[in-house]
Structure 1
Amino acid sequence: MTRRVKLQRREGVALITMSGRGRDGARAGFDADLRGALGNALELALAEPGVRAIILRADPEAGGWPFSPDPLIEYEALQAPGDPARGLAPGLAPLCDRVAGAPLPVVAELSGLVSGAGLALAQAAGLRIAAAGTVFLAREYALGYCPAGGAVVRLAQRAGAASTIDFLLSGRRVAAAQAVSQGLCDLVVPAQDLDATAMARALDAAGGQAPGLPDRRKALAEVGRFFDEVSEMRARVAEGRRHDAGQRLIGVVEAAALLPIREALDFEAVAHHDLLGASLAQGLIHADRVRRQAQRLPDEPLAAPRPERVALWAMGDRLALELASAGHQVIFGGPEDRVARAHDRILKEIALRAASGRIDAAQAEALTTRIAFGRKLHDLAAARLVYAEPTAPGEADLAALRGIVAGHRVLMVVAGAAAGPGEIRLHRSARLRELAPEEGIGAEALSRAAAPLRRAGSVVIFGDGVADRLEGAFFAAAERCVMAGALPDAVDHALEDFGFAIGPFRRIDERGLAGAFERLAAAHRAPGPYLSYLDLLGQSGREVGQGIYRHAEGRAPELLPETAETLAALRLEAGIEPRRMSASEIVTRVLAELAGEGAALLHSGAALRAGDVDLAAELALGFPAAQGGPLYWADRMGALAVRKRLRQLIDEGGPKPVALWDELVRDGGKFGI
């Protein structure tokens, strides 16, 4: 038996203690290693004479009930063919069946986060006792599939249809205090009483004494009500990409009351397998994995650095507040008027949080004391980490700041300007933060720079202008579509129907032509005839009331009526014979150019991981998570097909695909994550 499971015996009760952490100390959940060890422990406990009950509990040093950030590693179907544990460790479903069918009372002591395979195992136990502070979460539906291992069927039979469906579809975290009423557990006790309560209840159940074990099929006592709830919940599932997955999941809940238990469990397993293999789930799973991958930069130490004193020069006051909320001592500096305004806004926000009950008086006071306001560059010298953005002409303030911190072993992170030797450049776009280190910066320094940004709620990747270059490629590809024969609103509709939050031309109007031209330049592209013509006319976007669309107060943007005539003249002047373009062709052309830019970013070293490119596309461009990202899309289409499309676009002014495409085609490779 591995160190992941310990088996002890006390008063005729087998105590099985599980650790959800792998050999490297990271959370591994119910992976093959833990499932194998737990299966062995169950067999030994059930075979040992004198054992009258079993308690499943978590190793307190491992952070509670086992769970994995990636729920899929807990499902046996995903074991790789080369995994040495494949076929040796029991799958999740047989393991849960063994617990549910045990001839002895099985009590589950729940703590920490109960999710994924941990939720399935908890529902298989005869009695579920949760420590105060335990949280229940179902992540599967957000990823396009349904739980397995009997989690849906057994929970539905205990909690009822409405409660089960609401929990599984909502993705809400349910605290222990509400979990009893929702049927997720049977009892909640203070954490310090969890072991003693579980032992007492296990002995009572083994001896046939009240209160014994609860009815695991309680909800089926009112089967008419159960089916009424199923019908009502079916009607509530919103239309959208996850609609079919939601209806399939509700069908599994219905099967819990319609079918014998074995057939219902098989029905659940088939639904899980089918949904997991669908393109929706595969795209969402990829998007989830690249988000989790971004929690660590390449070669970043596993343990996050401790909060340290941070200085901000001319950066956002919201960043100062979030860093202070995360435990950092913050020095906020900048021009005097800017610091004064930030001081007033920060104190007002702290007061609002306290008045609304989001923080108490002690927390409000702690936030206030953690933020110091400096009006001179010398005030920042006490920090160990400085985020700075120049405000003076010629970046004079930045140069002065460098002179002040020189020799003090202060790490500088520079936004809005070029970074110097031993510094890190910061790019910002929506929630995305890109760190581009200069020479002399190692993994530890990158980790120090990334940690405060993550604590402030940002997603951090290693990159040098990834988001800006992708956006520039997005705009250039869209303009190529209209010069080839499409209309701007048709391009926007096609990409919005594909799942983009906003189409490229609507995005250009929101950003303004000047901002769009900056993004084009970042992607080494020049404005084409259409955007250049709009610039000549001064139609720069929403801010002036007219750009690609006309923007009137209280009305939806409308494509200018002269657009078709304007484009026809521009095509004639450029010698372009226009053609009709379907929505699918528009999408394919634009995604191919995004993938081409993603490959160029990897080829040049401006991005290190394909997953970071896909993540940047999602966060900065609104690329639909269900579609995975441009490089994930390219992997699905095949490198040969995408390279062919990119080569065709060269005749229309598109960039030549980088050599990385040739390598992928030659080797049959993929970008992966």
Structure 2
Amino acid sequence: MKFQDHAEGGVTVITLDNPPLNSLGHVLRSRIVAAIEVAEVDPAVRAIVLTGSPRAFSAGADVSEFGTPRQMAEPILRSVLERIRICTKPVVAALDGVALGGGLELALACHARVALGQARVGLPEITLGLIPGSGGTQRLPRLAGIDLALTLMQGGAPMAAAQLASTSLFDRVVDDGLIEAAADVARQLADAGAPWPHADRLNLDAEYVATKVSLARQRLNARQRLQPAYGALLDAIGASAGPIDAGLALERARFLGLIGTTEAQALRYQFKAERDSHRLPDTLQVEPRKVATVAVIGAGTMGAGIAICALDATLDVILLEQDETALARGRQRIADHYAGRVAAGKLGAAVADAAQARLTGTCDWQALARADVVIEAVFEELSVKQDVFRRLDAVARPGAVLATNTSYLDIDAIAAVTSRPQDVLGLHFFSPAQVMKLLEVIRGAHTSPDAMATAMTLGRTLRKVPVLCGNAFGFIGNRIYNAYRRQCEFMLEDGAWPEEVDQALTDFGFAMGPFAVADLSGLDIAWRMRRAQAATRDPRERHVPVLEQLCEQGRLGQKSGAGYYRYADGKRAQTTDDTVHDLIVQASAARGIQRRTLAPQEIQRRALLAMVNEAACLYADGVATRPSDIDVVLVQGYGFPRWQGGPVFWARQQDRERLGADLRCLVEAGGHGMRLADDTMLARLLD
């Protein structure tokens, strides 16, 4: 904590000093109270300015204290805020950087607030399965209005102070001279005399608040209704129209009731897992290569999306296509993306123009010689990708990282056609690449540590969540998803219909069920992969032929108007039709299975068990570096509900003995070729 007497007028500046983000841990909370008390008894001080650093006023609670005695040790944040409220000298918050969660609540409890226009404020607790617990639900509606308060707290995303300048949240929003402006406001308050203005003295229209909260409750989507924090948040916001003490008490009760929920624990776990995912093992902790220019081979949907990611990261991009027509289509995809962002008000025209100015389109392979990283994004077929890497080997500069964007293929088989396998690795982007955050970074047998460090660093530069993977079929995500989808197909043979499986899994919290996902992505993608594997598939393995039979009938999914479901005007039928039912019944009969009804709970558990079993196997094989990486991949790339943590987190909540027994039953029912994660493998994953 730092003190600084302002030049004149008896204003003292208290600066929060807990780098990097001024998290409100117990030590900082104690120091704030002590600093306020020192300033309060100093006769030379008439007013107080509370500020942080250019990076952060305060990013809120210290997450590392969650669940520890320090979290609830006095002074808790509510005590700090009360000490500020009753201070006999006015306290003005001066905001730069971010003021999030408890950091914004600290500012809300001051007698006035001044911010730089670029400062960003928000209450993101909902993203951790919690609600603001130190007055945010009561003071923000009073200061900024119920509509804005609902937006900030339900969405969790921060907003720039400049966007809020017209509200009474801030007394001033300035472009520079933050401390001077805050000191000026503080002197004015001191001159006016007590009582100082405070959010707690403001009142809201009870009928208007009740109407807005009721509408917000009705608009909660299915996934939000599965998370208790959303209902608790609306309960607390609804109380903001009543007496402040009652509202604060209700808020605190709801907050404390959420801390121990599985959903909140899972969200905190996932938050930490994503922060850990980019951390490389000690053997790969080396200096990355410099990257200023990225080349992308292939200007289709995926290639254009990757190029946009690099342009948004202010990198120079070379986009290569085989002919001018294909290149023009790719450039148009990129131009349309930026035009849409500008039209939606999400990007300034100058920023969009600058991004596109960094793009060079070409059909000349020699242009790749100046790229630091080359990312191939062509058709998912080994021979095609090998041809690309042979040509690339001849033109790329020495030391360039050569990356293949592949979902399943063997990185070593691609690297083997080059003279520099140490520079070759996999970068598995997820579609649409400019939206999806997950990036699987795959290490080949010969990939050098500095090439891997470069790829992981590039992932963060592209604002992705990079996860290190070993080179094995399907890597982490598709290998687990393949086991999950396979189990769901087994359940069709056993007696379930596609819509029953999809409904059970969306009820658990998945964004979509597996058969709806298959229709959306196109059944021909899996069909092509299965045909490639057909020659080596053991005939004794259990295989459900329904997907192939649908494709043979031209039912390729949503793009053809029919797959597992039929589609009209882009809308999916609620249930599958007789064609699908007949194929499923025939598959059951061919295997001699007496069909039976599967309860939603059985569907959910079997699907999750399949994921856990495969997760344990691939972790034992060294495909994943950390068990938590598996959960990051499934949550970020495959629609696993974030508030359920991921398959590893879910498994850790289960009774271990029953989990092992159920896995044995699952694998036995799967028949020949199913690999069981034994107790040792399971223990490694879950301990």
- Greater mean alpha carbon deviation, residues 475-484 or residues 12-21: 12-21
Of residues 192, 195, 206, the one that matches 1:226 is 206
Could you say which residue in structure 2 is the equivalent of 1:53?
Answer: 47
Q: How has the CA–CA distance of structure 1 residues 393 and 379 changed in structure 2, closer, same or farther, with 3 Å as cutoff? A: same
Of residues 443, 446, 454, the one that matches 1:448 is 454
Contact 1:389–1:398 (Cα < 8 Å) also in 2: no
Give me the whole-angstrom Cα distance separating, in 1, the residues matched to 2:584 and 2:357. Answer: 59
Could you say which residue in structure 2 is the equivalent of 1:658?
Answer: 677
Contact 1:159–1:218 (Cα < 8 Å) also in 2: no
Give me the whole-angstrom Cα distance separating, in 2, the residues matched to 1:593 and 1:354. Answer: 44
Counterpart of 1:502, as a letter, is M
Could you say which residue in structure 1 is the equivalent of 2:601?
Answer: 584
- Greater mean alpha carbon deviation, residues 231-240 or residues 358-367: 358-367
Within a 5 Å distance, the mapping from 1:178-327 to structure 2 comes to 178-191=163-176, 193-208=177-192, 213-220=196-203, 225-237=205-217, 238-239=219-220, 240-243=222-225, 245-259=229-243, 261=245, 263-294=246-277, 308-314=292-298, 316-327=303-314
Q: How has the CA–CA distance of structure 1 residues 605 and 184 changed in structure 2, closer, same or farther, with 3 Å as cutoff? A: farther
1:475 and 2:458 are equivalent in the alignment: no
> Deviations along 1:286-340, whole A, 9 cap, x unmatched?
4444444445555687999875122222351332244223221222223234335
Structure 2: tracts of 5 or more residues without a match: 416-420
1:438 and 2:444 are equivalent in the alignment: yes
- Greater mean alpha carbon deviation, residues 544-553 or residues 95-104: 544-553
Counterpart of 2:479, as a letter, is R
Give me the whole-angstrom Cα distance separating, in 2, the residues matched to 1:102 and 1:213. Answer: 9
Could you say which residue in structure 2 is the equivalent of 1:64?
Answer: 56
1:30 and 2:17 are equivalent in the alignment: no
Could you say which residue in structure 1 is the equivalent of 2:68?
Answer: 80
Q: How has the CA–CA distance of structure 1 residues 524 and 232 changed in structure 2, closer, same or farther, with 3 Å as cutoff? A: farther
Contact 2:278–2:456 (Cα < 8 Å) also in 1: no
Give me the whole-angstrom Cα distance separating, in 2, the residues matched to 1:86 and 1:502. Answer: 37
Q: How has the CA–CA distance of structure 1 residues 670 and 48 changed in structure 2, closer, same or farther, with 3 Å as cutoff? A: farther
Give me the whole-angstrom Cα distance separating, in 1, the residues matched to 2:305 and 2:552. Answer: 38
Give me the whole-angstrom Cα distance separating, in 2, the residues matched to 1:149 and 1:136. Answer: 16
Displacement of 1:476 after TM fit?
A: 0.8
Counterpart of 1:594, as a letter, is M
Within a 5 Å distance, the mapping from 1:457-476 to structure 2 comes to 458-464=464-470, 465-476=475-486
Could you say which residue in structure 1 is the equivalent of 2:100?
Answer: 115
**TM-score (norm: length of structure 2):** 0.83
1:528 and 2:528 are equivalent in the alignment: no
- Greater mean alpha carbon deviation, residues 516-525 or residues 434-443: 516-525
Q: How has the CA–CA distance of structure 1 residues 133 and 414 changed in structure 2, closer, same or farther, with 3 Å as cutoff? A: same
Displacement of 1:199 after TM fit?
A: 1.8
Contact 2:58–2:104 (Cα < 8 Å) also in 1: no
What is the RMSD computed on CA atoms of the aligned residues? 3.6
Give me the whole-angstrom Cα distance separating, in 2, the residues matched to 1:194 and 1:59. Answer: 11
1:611 and 2:628 are equivalent in the alignment: yes
- Greater mean alpha carbon deviation, residues 605-614 or residues 516-525: 516-525
Contact 2:286–2:449 (Cα < 8 Å) also in 1: no
1:486 and 2:496 are equivalent in the alignment: yes
Could you say which residue in structure 2 is the equivalent of 1:630?
Answer: 647
Displacement of 1:147 after TM fit?
A: 0.3
Contact 2:565–2:572 (Cα < 8 Å) also in 1: no
Q: How has the CA–CA distance of structure 1 residues 594 and 40 changed in structure 2, closer, same or farther, with 3 Å as cutoff? A: same
Counterpart of 2:133, as a letter, is A
Question: What secondary structure, in the 3-state scheme, does the structure 1 residue paired with 2:3 have?
Answer: strand
Give me the whole-angstrom Cα distance separating, in 1, the residues matched to 2:360 and 2:660. Answer: 54
Question: What secondary structure, in the 3-state scheme, does the structure 2 residue paired with 1:183 have?
Answer: coil
Could you say which residue in structure 1 is the equivalent of 2:363?
Answer: 375
- Greater mean alpha carbon deviation, residues 554-563 or residues 117-126: 554-563
Counterpart of 2:392, as a letter, is L
Contact 2:310–2:317 (Cα < 8 Å) also in 1: yes
Give me the whole-angstrom Cα distance separating, in 2, the residues matched to 1:119 and 1:640. Answer: 45
Counterpart of 2:393, as a letter, is R
Q: How has the CA–CA distance of structure 1 residues 427 and 155 changed in structure 2, closer, same or farther, with 3 Å as cutoff? A: closer
Question: What secondary structure, in the 3-state scheme, does the structure 1 residue paired with 2:23 have?
Answer: coil
Of residues 395, 404, 415, the one that matches 1:404 is 395
Question: What secondary structure, in the 3-state scheme, does the structure 1 residue paired with 2:624 have?
Answer: coil
Q: How has the CA–CA distance of structure 1 residues 166 and 398 changed in structure 2, closer, same or farther, with 3 Å as cutoff? A: closer
Give me the whole-angstrom Cα distance separating, in 2, the residues matched to 1:351 and 1:541. Answer: 32
Give me the whole-angstrom Cα distance separating, in 1, the residues matched to 2:428 and 2:347. Answer: 31
Displacement of 1:91 after TM fit?
A: 1.9
Of residues 299, 310, 323, the one that matches 1:336 is 323
Contact 1:598–1:631 (Cα < 8 Å) also in 2: yes
Contact 2:320–2:361 (Cα < 8 Å) also in 1: yes
Displacement of 1:546 after TM fit?
A: 4.8
Displacement of 1:284 after TM fit?
A: 3.6
Within a 5 Å distance, the mapping from 1:148-159 to structure 2 comes to 148-159=133-144
Contact 1:476–1:527 (Cα < 8 Å) also in 2: no
Identity %, equivalent residues = 27
Give me the whole-angstrom Cα distance separating, in 2, the residues matched to 1:544 and 1:527. Answer: 28
Give me the whole-angstrom Cα distance separating, in 1, the residues matched to 2:78 and 2:369. Answer: 59
Give me the whole-angstrom Cα distance separating, in 1, the residues matched to 2:344 and 2:593. Answer: 61
Displacement of 1:354 after TM fit?
A: 6.8
> Deviations along 1:157-189, whole A, 9 cap, x unmatched?
444545534432243533323424443322212
Could you say which residue in structure 2 is the equivalent of 1:9?
Answer: 5
Structure 1: tracts of 5 or more residues without a match: none
Could you say which residue in structure 1 is the equivalent of 2:418?
Answer: none
Displacement of 1:136 after TM fit?
A: 1.7
Contact 1:646–1:656 (Cα < 8 Å) also in 2: no
Give me the whole-angstrom Cα distance separating, in 2, the residues matched to 1:533 and 1:361. Answer: 47
Counterpart of 2:399, as a letter, is R
Counterpart of 1:505, as a letter, is F
Displacement of 1:442 after TM fit?
A: 5.6
Displacement of 1:458 after TM fit?
A: 4.0
Q: How has the CA–CA distance of structure 1 residues 96 and 586 changed in structure 2, closer, same or farther, with 3 Å as cutoff? A: same
Displacement of 1:567 after TM fit?
A: 4.2
